[in-house]
Structure 1
C-alpha cells in the first residue's frame, strides 16, 4: 500500500509540475530582482548609519550596472584600470514581501558586486562581501516586513579604484535574484552532480542533494528526481522516501543510468536537466533544476587530455571579464556574439583570467560548447604591481586590493564560487592562481636570472632562455632564501585541499610564471597539472627532471612556438593565448592607450588578423586570408628581406597588427602575408604572379612577400584538398556611403536582448575604406536603449556612453538593448557628407 501511494504521489507531481513537450515547469522558486533600483554616487567612504536612505532624487536604474564605464576617460586616473574612475555608490530597492513569506524562507542572491559591498534590509545589517568576483546570498526572512514596503540597501566602496591590474568595473554588475522556498527545501547551490562512468552506450549519473528542514518538527518527504534530455524527454527517474529532523540539513545521494546518452562536447554541447522535487502529501513543495552535461574528463601526462575518451587539443584563450563599451555589466548577447566569432576560428576553451566570471557566462559556455578553466585568484598572500609600485614598496591607498581580505575570506570566496560553478559541464579545470610567484620575491632570484634585489623587474635573459641552473642548485637557493610571513607552497596546498574537498571530479591547476622554482619548492606538488606561463623553454627541462609531473601551457603569447609545443609534446595538451579579446586596463604611462593585447578580436569585438592566423592553424577546413603591413612597422629590415625570413627581433614583429586593406603610398615597401593551411600559396598583384611560397619554408606558418605598393588588387591562391581557394584585397577610393548592418533584426521585449549595429564606410564600388574615417551619429526612434558606442581602437577616448563616435578603419559599433515594450525601432545613422541610413529592429 505504501509503495502504491508513493507511485501515485510521484505521478501527481509529474502531471502538476512538468509539461514534457515544452520542458517548462509551473513551479517558480526564484525571480528576477534586477529591475527598479535606485542609485547614487557618494562623495566619501563612510557607511550610512541611519537606514534606509531617502532616495527620491536618485537615479532609476536596472541591474546589472557598472558606473565606471559611464564616465569619461581621464589621463589623471590610472592606466592599470583603463583611465576610468571608481568611487563609492549606494543602491536601494523598494519591494513588497513575496506572497506567503511568513510561511516560507526568502533569500537574495547577488552574483557579483564590485567591490567591498555591505548589505542591509530595512536598516538591518545582512553582511558584507569584499571580493568583487564571488557570488553571495543572504537569508532575509526575519527582516522582511509583510505589512509594508521593504527597502534593500547596498553600499559599494570602490574608492580603491586601482586595486586591480585591469579594468574591474564598479557596482552591482551581475544579476540579482530573489529566491523564496518552503521551510523544507533544497538550499541555494544545493546539488552536486557528476557523471563518473560515461560511454556512448550508457552513462552513470550521481546526484547529491542537500535538503534543509527549518521547521520545528521532523519532516517526512519524498525526494524525486527526473533526468530530462534537451528535447524534454524523461530518460531516468529516482524517488526516495526520506525524513529529516527539525533544524537540520543532510545530503542525500541518488544514482541514475542513462542509456544511449547524448554526450556534451565542444562540437555537440548536449545538455540535460535534473529536476529534483520535494513532495509532501501529494504536493511539490520545492523544485530545484540542475542543468548538466554528460561527459568524461581524463588527463594523461604522457598523452594529453581526453574529452569523452577522445584526444582533444585545448585551443584556449585567456580573457578578462569586461565587454568593451558595456564595461563589466556584460549582456549575455554581447558574450554570445564574441563566442560565435571565437568558435569560428577554432577556439574551444576559455581561461577566466584571473577570477571567477558570472553564472550567465558559464551558462553560455555550457550552451555553446566551450571548455572553461575556472580561475579563483590573481593575488594570495601578497600584492601585485598595479601602478609601478612594484611589490607594494610604498603605501598606496588606491591600489589596496584583495590581499587585504585574502586571509579571512579566501576559503569562503572559493567555496561559494565552486558551489555555484561545479555543475557546469563546461568547467573542466579549477585554477587556484595566476603567476603568484611574482609576489614571493625570492622565487625569481632562486633561478639565477635575477641579480639585483633593488631592481626586481630586471630579468636579464629570462624570457628567452632555458634554465641556467640545475634543479638541485635552484632548490639550494630556495632553501637558503629569506622568506616572509607566508609560504607560497603552504598557501597553494591549502587552496588545493579546499578545492578537492568540494569537487574531487576535476583536476586542480595553476599558472606558473617561475616554474623552475615552483617545480622544486613543492608548489607543483599541490596541483594535478602545472600550467606554465610564457616559459616554453622550461617544458623540456621539467619533463626531464620531473617526469612524474603533468606539464602544459596555461598562458602564452600565441606564437608558432606555442603551437609547436602542443604539436610536438603529447602531454602538452593546451595553450591559453594572451589574449583572445582586447580588454581595458593594464596600461602604464602610455596614454591615450586604454586597452590592448587583443589577438583575435578587438575591444569592439571586430576581427583582427590574428583571427585569420589561428583559424588557419586550428580549423581543419580550407582557409586563406591576406594581411599587409608597411615594412617600417613590421620589425623586418628593409634591406635583404626574403620571402620567409623572420624579423631579427621577433618580439618587435606583430603579425596581429597586420592590416586587412590594400591602401598605401605608391612605391612604399609593404610586407604581404597570407594565412593559410594550404601547403603552398601564390600571390598576384593586378593579375601578375609574384611567386609561390611553401609551408615547409615558413618558420611561423605565414607566407610572406615584400613588394612595392601599387594600387589595384592583390590576390592569394592555393590548393587545399584538390580545390582552389582564393582571397583578395582591393584598393579603396574615397568613401561615399555608410553601410549599416545588425546581427539581429528582432529582439525579445525583455529589456536584456541586444543588437550590434555596425557601420562601415565603403567607396563607390562597395569596397570597405579602412584608411579614412569620419564621425558617426546614431539616433533612435522608438523605445529602446543605446548601451553605447565604440570603434575598437585602443586609443579611442570617446565616451562609451554617447550617441556619436569617430570610426576606426572606417567602422564603428553601437549596441542597442530592448525594453519591455514591443514595437518597431528605427536606428538612424548620420555622418557629415554622407546620406543618412536607417535600419529597422523589431522588439517583440
Structure 2
C-alpha cells in the first residue's frame, strides 16, 4: 500500500485546566505506564466537551482586568506606556492548560507500515501520549512537529491519543491563543519512504528573464529517504550471535522516479535515479534535473509545478508523494532594491498576526485565503509572518496568489531548541516560491546592542544556509535602546549585527535609514516594519471611555512613504494589515485588541486602507475619510485620500474648491460646515468619485455572503437606512443563526439559511447554496448534516462578549459571523 494522509481534526474531547486525583506512579519509570489519570487510555472523558480542530480555547474565555505594574523600566515599550503587563498585551484573555483526547482505529492490515502523527501547530509546550505510552514533548507553539507512533498502536483495535498543552506561559507579548489550533494529520507509509523533498528551481544564468516568457531552468532536488530497516552490507554478517538477527533487513535495489508536471497538467520532465546505500536512519541524496521551457513564477502569473515522486523497491512502488514548487529568480541589490525575475519590484507589504475576529488563532485555510484576497485588493504584494512560523495553508495561498513572503522565526537565539525551531521554519518555507527571505528576529532590543547579538545572528544565518542557501536572511532591527529608553546616538551601535545580515532590516525610524546607508553603501536595506494610519473604523474623535481612536499618523506615514520609495530601499511591511487581539495600545483595559490595522478584526477596510490602496494601485481612487452626520453648522475637517493629481470637494452640489495632491500626501479641507445632504469628492475631473450622505434612521439589516469556500461561510451584516446606507450611529445587538436546509424543488440540493435579528425588531435572512459559493472546490454538500457557528465579531476593540457567541453588538453598523458545515 502507498502513503495515506488522513485528517485527524474530528472527534476530539477537550478539558480546560489541571486535573486532580491519582496520577501515574510509574509513568516515567516503566514503559507504557501512563495508565492513571487523563494520560491513560482507559480514562473516562465522556463528560469532556466535544471539539473539532482547529481549536483555540483561550479565545473562548471571558477577558478580565489585571492592572498590576509588572513591566519594569528595562523592558517597557515607549509606545505602550499604558500597558502594564503581559496579560494586557496578550488581550486580557485567560491563559490556562488544556487536555485533548481522541479515540481512533488503525486497521490490522497497517501492521508493518510506519504510522506518524503530525501537528501543524499546538500552543504550547505540548506533551503527547498514545495508549499509555509517552510519545514526545514539543515546546514551540508555532513550529510543526511529528512523531512516529507505529510501535505504540493497537492494530485492528481502538487507540487513544492524549495531548496536554500549557498555554499559560508566553512566547510573545501579543495574543497567542492556546490549544491544537492548526490541523493534525495521520500519515501511513512504508518502512522505507521519502521523508523530505526540497526542489530548488532557478532559471539558468544566461537567460534573459524580461524578454522571454519561457526559460531553461535548473533543478537541484534534495531528497531524504527514511528507513526503519537495518541492512548488512554485501558479504557482511553478524558474528556476535550464532544466528543472524531477525532485526536485520534484506538488501534491496531502490530507485526514485520523479515526474515534473505543470499546473496545466502537462508533463515536462521524467527522470529515474538509482539510490545506493539506503540503511537505517535518514539517507540524503542530491539529484539534478532541468526544465527546458519553464514558465516563471511571478506576482502577476504565479505559475506552479509539481514534482511527483515514486520510490521503488526491487521494481515495486512502495511510496509516493508530491512537492509543489515554482521557477523564479530573486536578488536584493544595494542600489536598486528587490529584483524578481530580473525586474525591480517594490515590496508593498504588511505584517500580520495569525488571529481573526471570532475565531482567534484557530484560522482555517479558507479564512487565511479570505484575508489574503482582501490584502491583494488593497494592492499588497508581500507578507511578513510576524513573528513566528506560519501555518502551511498561508504559504500555499501566497504561492497561488503571487504574494511574496518574509518568513520569520520566533526568537533571535542560537540555543539548540531555538535552532531546531528555526530549521523547522526553513524546511517548511523552502519549497514555496513565495518565500523570498527569512527573518531571524524582531526588535531584539535587549540583545541587538551587545556583542552576543551579533554572534547569535551569525550562527543562525549559518544554520539557515545549511538547510536552504537560496534565500537571504534579514531581521527587524529597532534603532532604540530599550533598557535605557533612548534613541541610538549612532546607527553604528547596531552595525555588529546589522552587517552580518544579507539584507539589513529596520523597524520604523525612517529618518535614520540614510545614515546607515551612507556608512554601509554595499548592503541592501528593507523596512521590516512601518507605521500605518491608525484609528477605529468609522471614528474621527478620540473616546477613551469606549477605547475609540481617532484617525491619526497621516503626517508620519506621508514622510515615511517618501523614504520607502527611495531606490535603494527594497520596500516596507506595514504594521499591520488587520487589527488583532492583544496589544491594545494606546489604551489598556477595557480594550482587548489592537487598532494598528488597515482593516479591522473582521476584515472591514478602515480609512487608512484607502491611503495605501491609492499608493499601491494604478487605477484612479478617491476616498473621503469623514462621516457626514452631525449637527447643522458643525465644523468638520474632511480628509481625502487619492492617487489623482487633483481633487474637488462638494457639499450638496456646491464646490468647496480644488486641492492638488503631493506624491505621498493626503488632502484636507479644514472646518467644513456640516449640512444635511451629500458630501462628494471628485478626482481629476471625474476619473474617481466618492460620496458620504447623511444617513436616515436604521430600518433594516442587510446580509451578504462575504466569502464562501469549501465548508466555510463568512457572512457580513450591516445596519442600513431605507436607502441602503450603513447607519453608523444606531448599533444594536444582533443574533446570528444558520441551518442547513434542502431546496423544496430539488431535494438533492442543499442550502444554508442564515438569519439575523436585532434587539430593535429588525431581521433579515440570507440563503447560500453550494452553487453560490465562490470557491467550492467540488465539495459535496450532501455529505453535511448541520451548520456550526465558529464565531462572531464586530471590530470594536473593547468587545468582551465571547467570540463564539451568536449574539454580537454591531460596531459602526457592521458585524460578521463565520459558519462551518459539518
| Residue 737 in structure 1 maps to residue 700 in structure 2 | yes
CA distance in 2, matches of 1:739, 1:288: 47
Corresponding residue for 1:686? 652
Change (3 A) 1:500 1:591: same
CA distance in 2, matches of 1:726, 1:246: 69
Alpha carbons 1:583, 1:596 under 8 Å: kept: yes
| Residue 701 in structure 1 maps to residue 698 in structure 2 | no
Corresponding residue for 2:430? 422
CA distance in 2, matches of 1:747, 1:695: 40
Deviations 1:358-406 (A, max 9, x none): 11111111111111101102x446xxxxxxxxxxxxxxxxxxxxxxxx7
Alpha carbons 2:201, 2:328 under 8 Å: kept: no
Change (3 A) 1:615 1:763: same
Deviations 1:495-519 (A, max 9, x none): 1111111111000001000284566
CA distance in 2, matches of 1:55, 1:695: 65
CA distance in 2, matches of 1:125, 1:102: 20
Number of residue pairs matched by the alignment: 683
Corresponding residue for 2:766? none
| Residue 501 in structure 1 maps to residue 466 in structure 2 | yes
Alpha carbons 1:262, 1:294 under 8 Å: kept: yes
Corresponding residue for 2:529? 555
Corresponding residue for 1:609? 607
| Residue 574 in structure 1 maps to residue 571 in structure 2 | yes
1:236-635 pair list within 5 angstroms: 236-377=269-410, 379-380=411-412, 407-436=415-444, 438-440=445-447, 443=449, 487-514=452-479, 516=490, 521-558=495-532, 559-567=557-565, 569-587=566-584, 590-628=588-626
CA distance in 1, matches of 2:92, 2:582: 7
Q: Secondary structure at the match of 1:325?
A: coil
1:765 to 720, 723, 740: 723
Unaligned runs of 5+ in 1: 1-25, 382-405, 444-482, 629-660, 820-844
Task: Identify which range, 790-799 or 109-118, moves more after superposition.
Answer: 790-799
Alpha carbons 1:109, 1:136 under 8 Å: kept: yes
Alpha carbons 1:666, 1:710 under 8 Å: kept: yes
Alpha carbons 1:219, 1:243 under 8 Å: kept: no
1:142-161 pair list within 5 angstroms: 142-160=151-169
CA distance in 2, matches of 1:521, 1:571: 18
CA distance in 1, matches of 2:567, 2:595: 28
| Residue 85 in structure 1 maps to residue 94 in structure 2 | yes
Deviations 1:514-548 (A, max 9, x none): 28456655202321011111121211111111222
Structure 1 residue 73, shift from structure 2 partner: 1.8
| Residue 41 in structure 1 maps to residue 26 in structure 2 | no
Corresponding residue for 1:209? 223
Q: Aligned-pair RMSD on alpha carbons?
A: 2.2
TM-score, length-normalised on structure 1?
Answer: 0.78
CA distance in 2, matches of 1:778, 1:82: 25
Corresponding residue for 1:194? 201
Corresponding residue for 2:7? 32
Corresponding residue for 1:227? 260
Corresponding residue for 1:666? 632
Of Structure 1 and Structure 2, the greater helix share is in: 1
Task: Identify which range, 513-522 or 753-762, moves more after superposition.
Answer: 513-522
Task: Identify which range, 524-533 or 204-213, moves more after superposition.
Answer: 204-213
Q: Secondary structure at the match of 1:487?
A: helix
Q: Secondary structure at the match of 1:126?
A: strand
1:21-170 pair list within 5 angstroms: 28-43=3-18, 49=27, 50=36, 51-52=40-41, 53-76=43-66, 78-98=87-107, 100-160=109-169, 163-170=171-178
Change (3 A) 1:779 1:552: closer
CA distance in 2, matches of 1:598, 1:260: 45
Structure 1 residue 28, shift from structure 2 partner: 4.3
Alpha carbons 2:631, 2:674 under 8 Å: kept: yes
Alpha carbons 2:225, 2:283 under 8 Å: kept: yes
TM-score, length-normalised on structure 2?
Answer: 0.80
Q: Secondary structure at the match of 2:474?
A: strand
CA distance in 2, matches of 1:521, 1:747: 47
| Residue 791 in structure 1 maps to residue 794 in structure 2 | yes
CA distance in 2, matches of 1:775, 1:511: 42
Corresponding residue for 1:401? none
Corresponding residue for 2:732? 774
Unaligned runs of 5+ in 2: 28-35, 68-86, 230-248, 481-489, 533-556, 741-785
Q: Secondary structure at the match of 2:624?
A: strand
CA distance in 1, matches of 2:568, 2:702: 48
Change (3 A) 1:248 1:131: closer
Alpha carbons 1:374, 1:430 under 8 Å: kept: yes
Change (3 A) 1:265 1:757: same
Q: Secondary structure at the match of 1:596?
A: coil
Alpha carbons 1:509, 1:529 under 8 Å: kept: yes
CA distance in 2, matches of 1:773, 1:209: 58
